[in-house]
Structure 1
Amino acid sequence: MRSRVWWGTTAVVLGGLLVAGCGDGSGDGDKASPAAGKAAADDRPVTVTDCTGARTTFSAAPEKIVTSNASSLELLLRLGAGDKVIGTGFPPGKGTLPGDLDAQAQQVKVLSQTVIPKEKLLGSGADLYIDTFANMSMGGGMGDAPTEEEFKAAGIKHIYLKSTACASMAKSAVTDLSAVEADITSLGEITATSAKAEQLVEGMKKKVDAVRNAVGGTPESKRPTYFFFDFDAGTKQPMAVCNRQIANAVISQAGARNVFADCDGDYKQVGWEDVIAENPDWIQLGVRNRGSEAANRKAFDEAQKWLESNSATKGLKAVKEGHFLRIGSEQTTIAGVENADTVERIAKTLYPGKVG
């Protein structure tokens, strides 16, 4: 299993279950999903499936939702279903969400700063639990994650976000944001907020389409190469984002070439010699949100300084030319509306003057 740092803590990310079918992110992976099609706000029952084909049916919209972390919480807030959330794990730091979302997020009960302990989750009174990842190590003596039988006995329906939970199981490279859009659509159907979900998805498509129209004609060989430096995953051995990860789609849609796009899977540990061999044109400083602008800036500074002072990396083209992008990890690697914003930010940096 592979450890991933989330807000200063560790969570194990494995391929697994998902919301609304197991699409591959290539644009047509959801056609066979039983949940395909847009349900009206009162169109019930709503049925979604997981990667194994197991079905979860909602005869009514859930009233008491617990989210595994800030990612699924943010999506529910954006959908207008935040009043249904009774608790979360891995809460967003104050000021980390934009606008009114931040104030709403701070009102949500924090069940754990990390993974919610099994007994607390089962006793939360929730009727729905949304996992961003397929498997999370409970750690810290908190015991194992609940089994599906235990969720059922507690009256809790258990679903996952497809675009992250099923990333490693995708059948082909993820090069667009269709899996993320499907997650938003499914959550809209489940929570009776389909109209808002459609609005969010259309907004994402509009931004990405504008970037594609501006830089999509650039030949593959002319596109700048790009390395996502996952600073929080450790510097001894870099963690590469591979072609099944959302970040690969974000990078591709922005008109860049992920230097590890030939790696099948979501993440893979590589060596610095591999990064040196690729000699990327641009490097994104992948830093997780520290909870404040000042703390984030300090973390970005540390990541950049490490690259500039390390003997193995200071000679890289991107480092010598100062080609760094300071964009947080979450909006690049985790499903959310801000994936489209990140596409736009990367494209504006790599293609100055072309993207409005």
Structure 2
Amino acid sequence: MRLPIIAAALLATCATAMASGFPVTVKSCNRDVTFETAPKRAVSHDVNLTEMMLALGLADHMAGYSGISGWKTLSEDLRKGVGELPELAPQYVSKEVLLGADTDLFFAGWNYGMKVGGDVTPDTLAPFKIAVYELTESCIHIMKKDKSSLQDMYADLLNLGAIFGVREKAEVLVAGYEKELADFQAELPKLDKPVNVFIYDSGEQKPFTAGRYAMPTAIIEAAGGKNIVDDVESSWVEIGWEPVIERNPDMVVIVNYGEVTAEQKIDYMRTNPAFKDIEAVKNNRFFVLEYNEATPGPRNIAAIKRLAAAMRAD
């Protein structure tokens, strides 16, 4: 008599899985990743990826997060969102820590918690049954992809929605972002020409900036500008100061995080004689983006709106 009971239980389980959209397969960079059920012990790395999880209401599916307090401070709203979730590592999380947290999904990216050839990658975690979903913007480090766009961020939210069985919530969220941006751009005063923008992330001897495949390029273009190094075939990258001086940006966008404050970065450019003829420096046109505004995540649309207003302020 046990066989019919077992069969009925299996049928019920299958029916529940099908009703919730599982199993589901999503594209993660150049891999297809299949989930039989929604992860219950996910770990997100970095502040922007963690905010994507929170925007979809997935705190109950998380074992914790990593890579925030070592470089950045938690904003009040993020602190409230993560609640009692532990930070498993202030900077890079190790394979051992992920195993100790009984992690079943690591949401990270290349140079967002993972390094090519490093100890924590999809290949090194696979033997331990830890799935990995990779931040779309970061895929350029391991494969060819299109220029950075807001579609990268939208794709991540939609894929997370599928992975965690909250597809409808993700679709509503993305549709809301798309409409908010479209409505804003429809009313946005046109510029005579694009504002040439340099993204200054960090570094004095050589600046660390955002190239063609980093999210700030998409943010700048959506606001009505042009990244002066959008011809650099890379994501976040170190370059020399010479091309910055030669290309003479109208505005410098500072990425604010870490021990060196945004004001200190601005002062460095203001007081360095090498930069005295740059239009942005001469006209004191500096604009500050917080790290979680400049990287793919829920704050990108608000960042575009703020930057667009600053471009037209003069």
Report what 1:164 is aligned to: 138
Per-residue deviation, 1:216? 7.8
Question: Corresponding residue for 1:131?
Answer: 108
> Equivalents in 1 of 2:252, 2:310: separation in Å?
11
The residue that corresponds to 2:156 in the other structure is: 183
- Residue 91 of structure 1 aligns with which residue? 68
Distance 1:312 1:133 in 2: 34
Q: Deviations over 1:216-273 (max 9, x none)?
A: 8546xx1111111112xx1111123111111110110110111112222213432222
Q: Which has the higher helix share?
A: 2
Other structure's SS at 1:235 match: coil
2:35 counterpart of 1:58: yes
CA deviation after TM superposition for structure 1 residue 347, in Å: 0.3
Q: 1:135 to 1:224 in 2, by over 3 A?
A: closer
- 1:288 paired to 2:257: yes
Give 1:306's match in structure 2, choosing from 268, 281, 304: 268
The residue that corresponds to 1:236 in the other structure is 205
Runs in 1 of length 4+ with deviation above 6 angstroms?
none
Which of the two has greater strand per residue? 2
From the superposition, tell whether residues 147 and 300 of structure 1 become closer, same or farther in structure 2 (CA, over 3 Å): closer
Distance in 1 separating the partners of 2:101 and 2:288: 38
Task: Mark the runs of 5 or more structure 2 residues left unpaired by the alignment.
Answer: 1-17
* 1:16-55 matches, cutoff 5 A: 42-52=20-30, 54-55=31-32
Q: Distance in 1 between matches of 2:54 and 2:23?
A: 23
1:262 corresponds in structure 2 to: 231
How far apart, in 1, do the equivalents of 2:142 and 2:218 lie?
14
- In 2, the alpha carbon distance for the partners of 1:116 and 1:189 equals 25
C-alpha separation in 2, matches of 1:151 and 1:310: 46
| Higher RCO (CA-CA < 8 Å; seq separation 6+) | 1
CA distance in 2, matches of 1:65, 1:127: 6
CA distance in 2, matches of 1:98, 1:214: 32
**Aligned position for 2:13:** none
Counterparts of 1:148-227 in structure 2, within 5 Å, are 148=122, 150-166=124-140, 169-174=143-148, 176-215=149-188, 218=191, 222-227=193-198
State the Cα deviation string for residues 121-145 of structure 1 (Å, max 9, x = none).
Answer: 123211111113367468xxxx952
1:348 aligned residue (306, 309, 313): 309
| TM-score of the pair, normalised by structure 1 | 0.75
What number of residue pairs does the alignment pair up? 295
Letter in 1 for 2:152: A
Cα distance in 1, alignment partners of residues 234 and 261 from structure 2: 27
Q: Residues 288-328 of structure 1, C-alpha deviation per residue, up to 9 Å, x if partnerless?
A: 266xxxxxxx8121111111111111332111211111212
Structure 2 distance, partners of 1:166, 1:46, is 24
Aligned mates of 1:258, 1:41 — CA distance in 2: 45
The SS at the match of 2:156 is helix
In structure 1, how many angstroms separate the alpha carbons of the residues matched to 2:22 and 2:144? 29
- In 2: Cα distance, 1:137 partner to 1:161 partner: 10
Distance 1:225 1:168 in 2: 29
Q: SS at the partner of 1:341?
A: helix
How far apart, in 2, do the equivalents of 1:115 and 1:137 lie? 8
> Match of 2:253, SS?
strand
Secondary structure of 2:92 counterpart: coil
Q: Which amino acid aligns with 1:151?
A: L
Q: Which moved more, 1:122-131 or 1:244-253?
A: 122-131
Asked if the contact 2:252–2:285 (Cα under 8 Å) also holds between the matched residues in 1, the reply is: yes
Residue pair 2:211, 2:230 contacting (<8 A) in 1 also: yes
Contact 2:42–2:106 (CA under 8 A) maintained in structure 1? yes
Residue of structure 1 equivalent to 2:283: 321
CA–CA distance in structure 1, aligned partners of residues 102 and 177 of structure 2: 34
Letter aligned with residue 179 of structure 1: D
Alignment match, 2:14: none
Q: Structure 1 CA distance, aligned partners of 2:122 and 2:233? A: 29
Q: 1: CA distance between counterparts of 2:80 and 2:281?
A: 38
Identical amino acids, percent of aligned pairs: 26
Q: In the aligned structure 1, how far is the partner of 2:79 from the partner of 2:150?
A: 25
- Rounded to whole Å, the distance in 2 between the matches of 1:303 and 1:84 is 38
Q: What's the CA shift string for 1:2-60, capped at 9, x where partnerless?
A: xxxxxxxxxxxxxxxxxxxxxxxxxxxxxxxxxxxxxx9811211013333x3221121
Q: How does 1:329-348 map to 2 (within 5 A)?
A: 329-332=291-294, 334-348=295-309
Taking the aligned partners of 1:218 and 1:235, their CA distance within structure 2 comes to: 32
Q: Which has the larger radius of gyration?
A: 2
Task: Describe the superposition over 1:108-165 as per-residue Cα deviations: whole angstroms up to 9, x where unpaired.
Answer: 1121111112212123211111113367468xxxx95246455233221122111233
- Uncovered stretches (5+) of structure 1, i.e. residues with no partner: 1-39, 291-297
Q: Structure 1 residues 240 and 301 mapped into 2: Cα distance closer, same or farther (>3 Å)?
A: closer
